């Protein structure tokens, strides 16, 4: 039986290393092209991280029954989810688990699907600071509704509570842990 790359252990290990790097150095773009061929980076992430013990909420409705049975994850509401998939272009009001003072790790991981990490018409330009970043770093994201950043600011205002975000374009990822300070750069016309 031929297994697609994203379900193979060696590929998942490499995807994990890219994720580890992404969270360690927030704002750095990690291209997964060579690893995952035609698969969307989102599927590579979910296949790598999730199993039967995980709770997943898909607000996009994009995941099909075949995906769910392969992932083995439990299909739950946003409030109970450890992992949430959402569309970066459309901001919906979500109430994810922010964790607690005693157990902040229960704060959810939100995966936002975006178009890419380059600057074009509707890109947001972000200045990032915090752990993992030597001074500051700049990040352009195409297809990210700014209201997500406003929600994030609300969720993350009382560290250690908060939500950790992965931005996933078709072939690349960027991680924004709750510790990253984000400032939206206004464009100069």
Partner 1 sequence: MNAQLNPAVKTAYNFGFLDEYAKKEIRRVTLKAICIPGYQVPYASREMPMGRGFGTGGLQLSLALIGQQEQVKVIDQGSDDSVNAVNLRQFIEMTCPGIDTTTRTQDATLIQSRHRIPEQPLTEQQILVLQVPYPDPLVIVEPSEDKRKVMHGEADYSRLLVKLYEDIVQFNEITISHRYPTKINQHYVIDPSPIPRWDVPKLHQSKALILFGAGREKKIYAVPPFTHAEPLAFEDQPFRVENFDDASGQRRACVRCGCQDSFLDEFTQETGQKIYQCSDSDWCEQQLARRSESGNS
State the binding string over 10-39 for partner 1 (x if CB under 8 A, else -). x-xxx-xx-xx--xxx--------------
Is residue 128 a contact residue for partner 1 (CB under 8 A)? no
Separation between Cα atoms, residue 166 and residue 85, nearest integer Å: 10
Burial of 69 (0-12, 13-18, 19+ CB in 10 A): exposed
Is residue 101 a contact residue for partner 1 (CB under 8 A)? yes
Separation between Cα atoms, residue 15 and residue 12, nearest integer Å: 5
According to CB under 8 A, which one of 88, 96, 132, 143 is a site residue for partner 1?
Answer: 132
How near is the Cβ of 115 to partner 1 at its closest, in Å?
24
Which stretch, 33-41, 100-108, 119-127, 141-149, contacts partner 1 (CB under 8 A)? 100-108
The answer to whether the beta carbons of residues 128 and 27 sit under 8 Å apart is: yes
Separation between Cα atoms, residue 111 and residue 96, nearest integer Å: 12
Is residue 171 a contact residue for partner 1 (CB under 8 A)? no
Is residue 178 a contact residue for partner 1 (CB under 8 A)? yes
> Look-up: residue for tokens 């901001």?
91
Residues 6+ apart with CB under 8 A from 10: none
Helix (H, G, I), strand (E, B) or coil at 79: helix
DSSP letter assigned to residue 158 = S
Is residue 72 a contact residue for partner 1 (CB under 8 A)? yes
Is residue 102 a contact residue for partner 1 (CB under 8 A)? yes
CB-nearer residue toward partner 1: 13 or 90 = 13
Is residue 43 a contact residue for partner 1 (CB under 8 A)? no
Is residue 164 a contact residue for partner 1 (CB under 8 A)? yes
Q: Which sign does the torsion angle of CA 42, 46, 47, 48 carry? A: positive
According to CB under 8 A, which one of 97, 109, 151, 169 is a site residue for partner 1?
Answer: 109
Separation between Cα atoms, residue 91 and residue 147, nearest integer Å: 6
What residues make contact with partner 1 under the rule CB under 8 A? Answer: 3, 7-10, 12-14, 16-17, 19-20, 23-25, 47-54, 70, 72, 82, 100-105, 107, 109, 131-134, 159-160, 162, 164, 177-179
């Amino acid at each position: 039986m031929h297994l697609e790359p994203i379900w193979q252990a060696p590929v998942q290990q490499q995807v994990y290393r890219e994720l580890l790097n992404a969270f360690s150095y927030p704002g750095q773009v990690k291209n997964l092209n060579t690893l995952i061929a035609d698969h969307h980076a989102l599927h590579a992430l979910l296949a790598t991280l999730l199993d039967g013990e995980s709770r997943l909420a898909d607000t996009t409705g994009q995941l099909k029954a075949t995906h769910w049975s392969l992932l083995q994850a439990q299909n739950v509401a946003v409030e109970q989810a450890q992992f949430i998939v959402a569309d970066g272009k459309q901001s919906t009001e979500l109430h994810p688990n922010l964790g607690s003072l005693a157990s902040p790790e229960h704060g959810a991981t939100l995966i936002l699907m975006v178009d890419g990490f380059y600057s074009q018409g509707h890109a947001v330009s972000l200045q990032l600071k915090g752990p993992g970043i030597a001074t500051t770093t700049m990040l352009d994201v195409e297809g990210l509704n700014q209201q997500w950043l406003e929600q994030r600011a609300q969720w993350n205002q009382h560290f250690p509570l908060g939500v950790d975000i992965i931005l996933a374009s078709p072939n690349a990822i960027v991680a924004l842990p709750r510790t990253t300070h984000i400032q939206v750069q206004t464009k100069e016309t």
